[in-house]
Structure 1
Amino acid sequence: MKNTGIFPYSRNSSILALIAMLLFSAYSFAFQPKAEDYVEYRGEVVNSSNGRGIASAFLALNNSNISTITNEDGKFSLKVPEDLVEATVTISVLGFQSKTLPLTYFKPQDTRIELEETVEELSEISLYQATDAKLLVKEMLTKKDENYFNDESLMTSFYRETIKKGWSDVSLSEAVLKIYKTPYNSAKKDLVSIYKARKSTDYDKLDTVAMKLKGGPFNTLYLDMMKYTEYVLRPGMLESYEFSFDDPTKINDRYTYVVDFREIDHSDPWYFGKLFIDAETSTLVKADYSLNVDDRSKAQEMFVKKKPNGSKVYPVELNYEVDYAQNNGKWRYAYGKAEMEYVVNWKRKIFNSRYKINSEMVVTDLENYAGEDFRQTESLIRPNIVMVDDVSGFYDTNFWGSNNIIEPDKSIQNAIDKIKRNFEDER
């Protein structure tokens, strides 16, 4: 049996089921301090050479577990307790030099942070003497217990899920999740608890077909390659892939090897991408990879469980990203992103429909877990859950106030505002 990278599959099971009704959503959990207990800072992170926004830049409040990440346009929202006025914030992203700024630099609105591209020749990386990419990946896997969290922890994370039909935004779900993160040296699965969801969907733009995505937040949580090695970095993968070195780089001012990997067997959809491995510790700190689905029949067999009569449904692009953060010398999951594009062909229609489904999760807080059995103290969602609509969160103005979130794209926000007005008109 081969694995998809999110869930294991066989010819009788799949990650995604496509049916004639759309059920997309997300859930949330949040510890919410009073509004006066924190200060919100907004702004953007840009490339110093051209002023363009930098997506997926991490902003971490030093000596704390508070962090956030920029959206596609480089926008961010960072919320900090009032008593941390003397703190500093480190901004980092692949390909740019990290920067640390005092919190006093940040403003409630229009904070502008410029990062310079990394142009340094990384000759020092030769000090680590890695000459065989396959052996480096092997060392990375064998050092998992040494490099990653082996304590139980409780994560607060922000989850976001969007659907586009063509260029139109038709659905947005957002959630704050409470995640019981099991140790990396344990075979136990992570657990996810929910509190509340908010979602808005323009069903008029969805034709009569829609997508049912099993897993919701688990689709991004299971991208944690070092925790769930059975999906991509599975036993035997060293013989299943070709490995080669790309140009090295720097991440958070640390020298990093870049290893290209490519699955050898192309009889089914196959993986390819890049592993970013810390040169000094052989730790996987980032991965960008994709699943080749050029074989439409095999891709449909893998991902499509049901579809409306008179239609053909298949994926055309599947891209994934996972990033890790370091706490007290140990690494843990920090960010996951899945981008999926599907085509729906109807027999009696000239033009097909294209749906882009993006889901993101970023960890905003982390603490050691010393509580009772998490299963008994929280209401959990199952990995194969089918989410349901919950639009009430859009009317709860205080719900998101105390949590760092990924700022919505402007086009997404415009779509939400339009849908909100429609709901209000119906009341």
Structure 2
Amino acid sequence: MKRLFFTQKNTFLTLLFLICGVFSYAQNTQEFKGKILDKDTSKALALADLTVNNSNISTITNNEGEFILKVPEDLLDNSVSISYLGYKKLDVPLSEFKTIDTKIYLEQAATVLAEIDLVVPKDARTLVSKTLSLKGENYFSENVFMTGFYRETIKKRNKNASLSEAVVTINKQSYTSNRNDGITLIKARKNTDYSRLDTIALKLQGGPFSSLYTDVIKYPKFIFTDDNMDDYNFSFDRSTQIDNRLVYVVNFKQNNNVFSPMYSGKLYIDANTYALTSAVYSLNVENREEASKLFVRKKPRQAKVYPTEASYRVNYKTKNGKWYFGYSNILLTFKVNWKNRLFNSKYTLQSEMAITDWNIDENLLTNKDTKRLRPTSILQDQASGFSDPNFWGEYNIIEPEKSIESAIKKISKNLKKV
């Protein structure tokens, strides 16, 4: 799904900078910050969904359970719907939110009754095939124009070396169409500390497109095809709930007699509609050479590059009985072995995209002065922005984690010294 370039550092700077158009909403917004927690344990809930009712405005919590939500003034009388897998859905009036330090507690859903579990289809593979075949009934059958926030981090060992963020507009094609989605770059910023990248630099091709390709329903060809379904073993796990609805959990993994890299993970399928609500999966990277071919486009001849982890997550949201792509998270870890060197290098790349708004009318979310991206595009260094706390204006973004905030400050200081 992702294409990566490992290049010598002195050639990394020769790439062309992306130029992006900038625009902002005309209406004023109010910003709320806070945290979503487990009611019993006070444990932070990562990737909890927050959606402003009677609108398409939404956000998601980061890995520390923190959120930032910007709401137009004409919607301040509304409430916010908060949902999380395995927990009861909760509606909270915006009047109860604070500008900082809002704390919202979710209660775990009651265990699904054993007699309800008896209605689970007996054949897990048949259920998955049915889910894939019902995309026309369960998902948008028209083009939708989405606003998304994209973040990409690259670490060498455990230190952040590169940070990229962007607001994009997505022309999300109908789930019944064979046409690929399109992405327009609205606003972006990126800082890179080349001293932390040492003698090699990692570049990601595609960026936001890779996030869209995790959409199993729109792009099943990356995981499930008519030709490879027999290569997987499907089985049922214990059912769960989301938004007070029963959800079947299906485990899948490649058969023992299959040696090419395939995926394993869990599919969360709505029991009433058979719609896929979420998927968590990983690529089998035991076959290093074959797995490397799936990712590495270019590298130095004296280096061997192979993935040690490739994990994916996609979440869907529902509106008026139809589901749509809502969030994606990708984690890739690579090792670089150099010829005639004693120690290797480890690089970790993580990217995520959250849909923060959508509309049927393109003109409500974008304009004609923005930059159209291609699947081969690479988000390039743009030094401006990280020192400006108001850079994103009224756009909804994913609240940065403490480690990212710290890395932004350190990288900015190093760039000033240079």
- Regarding TM over 0.5, the answer is yes
Shift of 1:113: 1.0
- 8 Å contact from structure 1 (residues 196, 393) kept in 2: no
Question: 41, 46, 53: which is aligned to 1:62?
Answer: 53
How many angstroms apart in 2 are the aligned matches of 1:119 and 1:28?
48
- 8 Å contact from structure 2 (residues 193, 415) kept in 1: no
* Cross-structure match for 2:144: 153
The verdict on how the C-alpha distance between 1:129 and 1:367 changes in structure 2, with shifts beyond 3 A counting, is same
* Cross-structure match for 2:315: 323
Question: 153, 173, 198: which is aligned to 1:162?
Answer: 153
The letter of the residue matching 1:20 is: Q
CA deviations over 1:63-86 (Å, ceiling 9, x no partner): 101111111111110011112222
* Cross-structure match for 2:352: 360
The verdict on how the C-alpha distance between 1:104 and 1:194 changes in structure 2, with shifts beyond 3 A counting, is same
Give the match's secondary structure for 2:41. coil
How many angstroms apart in 2 are the aligned matches of 1:111 and 1:50?
17
The verdict on how the C-alpha distance between 1:405 and 1:26 changes in structure 2, with shifts beyond 3 A counting, is farther
Q: How large is the Cα RMSD of the aligned pairs?
A: 2.4
- 8 Å contact from structure 1 (residues 223, 336) kept in 2: yes
* Cross-structure match for 2:334: 342
Give the match's secondary structure for 2:386. helix
CA deviations over 1:306-346 (Å, ceiling 9, x no partner): 32243221100000000111111111100011100001122
How many angstroms apart in 2 are the aligned matches of 1:158 and 1:235?
33
* Cross-structure match for 2:69: 78
The verdict on how the C-alpha distance between 1:188 and 1:123 changes in structure 2, with shifts beyond 3 A counting, is same
Question: 294, 307, 311: which is aligned to 2:286?
Answer: 294
The verdict on how the C-alpha distance between 1:392 and 1:240 changes in structure 2, with shifts beyond 3 A counting, is same
* Cross-structure match for 1:409: 401
The verdict on how the C-alpha distance between 1:404 and 1:28 changes in structure 2, with shifts beyond 3 A counting, is farther
Aligned length: 412
The verdict on how the C-alpha distance between 1:329 and 1:397 changes in structure 2, with shifts beyond 3 A counting, is same
Shift of 1:133: 0.6
How many angstroms apart in 2 are the aligned matches of 1:19 and 1:282?
45
Is it true that 1:131 corresponds to 2:122 in the alignment?
A: yes
* Cross-structure match for 2:166: 175
The verdict on how the C-alpha distance between 1:154 and 1:261 changes in structure 2, with shifts beyond 3 A counting, is same
* Cross-structure match for 1:94: 85
How many angstroms apart in 2 are the aligned matches of 1:42 and 1:375?
29
The letter of the residue matching 1:193 is: T
TM-score, length of structure 1 as denominator length: 0.90
- 8 Å contact from structure 1 (residues 30, 176) kept in 2: no
The verdict on how the C-alpha distance between 1:376 and 1:230 changes in structure 2, with shifts beyond 3 A counting, is farther
TM-score, length of structure 2 as denominator length: 0.92
Q: Is 119-128 or 144-153 further displaced after alignment?
A: 119-128
How many angstroms apart in 1 are the aligned matches of 2:417 and 2:324?
46
Question: 12, 16, 29: which is aligned to 2:4?
Answer: 16
- 8 Å contact from structure 1 (residues 122, 249) kept in 2: no
Give the match's secondary structure for 2:298. coil
What pairs up with 1:8-407 in 2 under 5 angstroms?
Answer: 15-21=3-9, 22=12, 31-33=23-25, 37-123=28-114, 125-126=116-117, 128-264=119-255, 266-369=258-361, 379-407=371-399
How many angstroms apart in 2 are the aligned matches of 1:190 and 1:363?
14
- 8 Å contact from structure 1 (residues 29, 193) kept in 2: no
Give the match's secondary structure for 1:305. strand
Shift of 1:397: 4.4
Give the match's secondary structure for 2:180. coil
Shift of 1:37: 1.1
Give the match's secondary structure for 2:222. coil
- 8 Å contact from structure 1 (residues 157, 365) kept in 2: yes
How many angstroms apart in 2 are the aligned matches of 1:128 and 1:81?
44
Shift of 1:119: 4.2
Give the match's secondary structure for 1:362. strand
Shift of 1:121: 2.9
Is it true that 1:418 corresponds to 2:406 in the alignment?
A: no
- Percent pairwise identity: 44
The letter of the residue matching 1:359 is: S
CA deviations over 1:179-233 (Å, ceiling 9, x no partner): 1111000011111111332011111011111112111111101111111122113
The verdict on how the C-alpha distance between 1:56 and 1:92 changes in structure 2, with shifts beyond 3 A counting, is same
Give the match's secondary structure for 1:363. strand
The letter of the residue matching 2:319 is: N
Give the match's secondary structure for 2:341. coil
Give the match's secondary structure for 1:140. helix
| Structure 2 residues not aligned, in runs of 5+ | none
- 8 Å contact from structure 1 (residues 27, 174) kept in 2: no
- 8 Å contact from structure 1 (residues 324, 335) kept in 2: yes
Give the match's secondary structure for 2:413. helix
- 8 Å contact from structure 1 (residues 26, 197) kept in 2: no
